Chains A and B, each alone.
Chain A
């Protein structure tokens, strides 16, 4: 009798069995996550895709008739007066408004956020936590409440106008509410922490000996910043920019409250289609269009950062 025959199993069988059990366990353990992803993300998304290819119902909802109108109407529409095919310039200009506002907000949060993050990261370790804590305080309050607070600051009889009037800089209140300034101000305030935190994480990891080395090699402050610091904290800046830019694209509450709702943002345009517009397929197509724009931005980000890593 060979030694092998003594064991009831052929060689490697136990390991294989363990491997199979392991795979099975992994699947079982990740099942809740998979179910959640399918039910909470893929499922609704699929509904949106299906709805975008149907015909609008008379009073909301959809009729189960295939139609491409939802999609074509995002880009071109029949002119309601002479029936010619025209660019849906209303949709495009509303999209451009959301896009440019998101861009401006991202730039503003960069200008304010990077120095703030730098300041926090260069504090003595004990005090950093305190400053970080301060940065996160606004998150404790509901977005709407913060937006209303901004409104109290900038309204005609608001704090800023009252102070300016008191010290005699202006004679009459400045109209700040319901302007593009108000929207930009509010959005920058609301999204600033999303910029500060990732940039802080990057600055925190920065090896300051490299900066010293740059100075030793006769780099001025600006050159050291541009050639050494900026490339090193770039991943943080890009992550922060994405975190600010993406939610801005779909922002809804802040533009509505501070902008006075006179000009639609893309989020409001989508809401109109599901509400008074009663054109759910168009609404579904518009939101998928927005999602695609966000995805393109993210892919752009991934490609930039992966190239950085390859270069590094």
Chain B
């Protein structure tokens, strides 16, 4: 009996010990550097479990449904206000954390989380076009690559099925602001998209390999992902559409119903350290928002054309915000029309 009691208490101890040292991160797939997690585990003794999602909507729907068991989530900036207004995030006050001084001032007073009361910068990037220059050597800094494709690229184009980004590109191509609800403009947008789609090959995610193997030659893509394509195939280049292109940032937030709050906050603080932030970028090939992280980054990150936006194309980048529900409904209709 005594033996049993000892075993039971030992088990309970072990269980509570293990429980106190856990952290569940819910992040985009193929986005977290395993070495970063190893370092965090070695320094803090906290065991990290990563679960993947493939879109902001998937993450939002899953967490809203409850019973998810996650502590941290990494939504895009357009979704952060939704997460906050739906009461899903905890005010973990990163702005009062030790490493907060390392955050680049331009990423502190952001529109989606003024003063950073909820979120910590993870990575930021742009959505532009990718072109295999072996097959097309014209101007690639334009959305015409996929909206009015040159003959050379027809039927080899892939457009990522990210409604917000693609709609923003198409609306700006027609001279509108992202989230515009101008019906005249949206009619043109729809007609252009429907017309252009005949020349597309696919609308799919996760195409680094398909571009590298030249199954696909052009399309809409994110800068860091294009960087990884270029590392596998040197003919691949990234274009910043001069008509306008979306800029975005993904940030790490603690969930309101997190089980491991202290561990989650420790992770938020951990990734604001320049050396650790550099590890995030080293893997996924996007810039982070931490001052001084460049010093720890691989040499090719500092000069990569996917990371360093050309001066003359900087003004075309637009930080789009969350579209109002009524506009979102319009966009969904156009999106459905496009894929019917």
Interface residues of A (CB under 8 A from B): 58-61, 77, 80-81, 89-91, 93-94, 155-157, 175, 177-178, 256, 259-264, 268-269, 272, 274-279
Contacts and interface: CB of A to CB of B under 8 A. Distances in A.
B61 A60 contact: yes
A272 B57 CA distance: 9
Interface string B179-209: 0000100110000000001001111100000
Interface stretch (B93-101, B258-266, B328-336): B328-336
B340 A264 contact: yes
A272 B340 contact: no
Given A156-B214, A260-B158, A275 B61 contact: yes
A240 B233 CA distance: 46
Interface string B103-130: 0000000000000000000000000000
B161 A261 contact: yes
A130 B164 CA distance: 52
Main secondary structure of the interface of A (DSSP, over half): loop
B337 interface: yes
A279 B163 CA distance: 15
A269 to B, nearest CB: 7
Given A94-B336, A175-B201, A277-B329, 9 more contacts: A77-B333, A80-B330, A89-B340, A90-B333, A260-B201, A260-B203, A260-B204, A272-B335, A275-B55
A276 B204 contact: no
6 contacts: A80-B186, A155-B215, A261-B202, A262-B339, A276-B55, A278-B57
A7 to B, nearest CB: 54
Nearest to A95: B340
Interface string B37-81: 000000000000000000101101100100000000000000000
A133 to B, nearest CB: 34
Given A60-B64, A175-B155, A178-B202, A264 B336 contact: yes
B86 interface: yes
Contacts of B200: 262
Contacts of B332: 272, 276-279
Nearest to B215: A156
A263 B340 contact: yes
Nearest to B183: A81
A177 B215 contact: yes
A274 B57 CA distance: 8
A261 B333 contact: no
Contacts of B201: 175, 177-178, 260, 262
Contacts of A277: 329, 332, 335-336
Interface of B: 55, 57-58, 60-61, 64, 82, 85-86, 155, 158, 161, 163-164, 183, 186-187, 197, 200-204, 213-215, 325, 328-330, 332-337, 339-340
A155 B211 CA distance: 12
B336 A272 contact: yes
B265 to A, nearest CB: 26
Contact of A278 (B55, B203, B214, B328): B328
A262 B334 contact: no
A262 B163 contact: no
A175 B154 CA distance: 13
Contacts of A262: 197, 200-203, 339
B64 A61 contact: yes
Contacts of B204: 256, 260-261
A256 B200 CA distance: 15
B336 A276 contact: no
Contacts of B158: 260
B155 A275 contact: no
Contacts of B333: 77, 80, 90
A178 B163 CA distance: 20
Contacts of B203: 260-262
Contact of A93 (B64, B328, B330, B340): B340
A147 B215 CA distance: 17
B340 A275 contact: no
A77 B330 CA distance: 12
A91 B336 CA distance: 8
Contact of B325 (A58, A264, A274, A276): A58
A80 B336 contact: no
Given A155-B215, A278-B325, A60 B202 contact: no
A59 B82 contact: yes
B163 to A, nearest CB: 5
Q: Which 6 A-B pairs have the closest CB atoms?
A: A260-B202, A275-B57, A90-B340, A277-B332, A58-B325, A264-B339
A149 B203 CA distance: 20
A276 B64 contact: no
B233 to A, nearest CB: 13
Which one of B64, B202, B329 has the highest number of Cβ atoms from chain A below 10 Å of its Cβ? B202
B58 A275 contact: yes
A263 B197 CA distance: 10
A178 B201 CA distance: 6
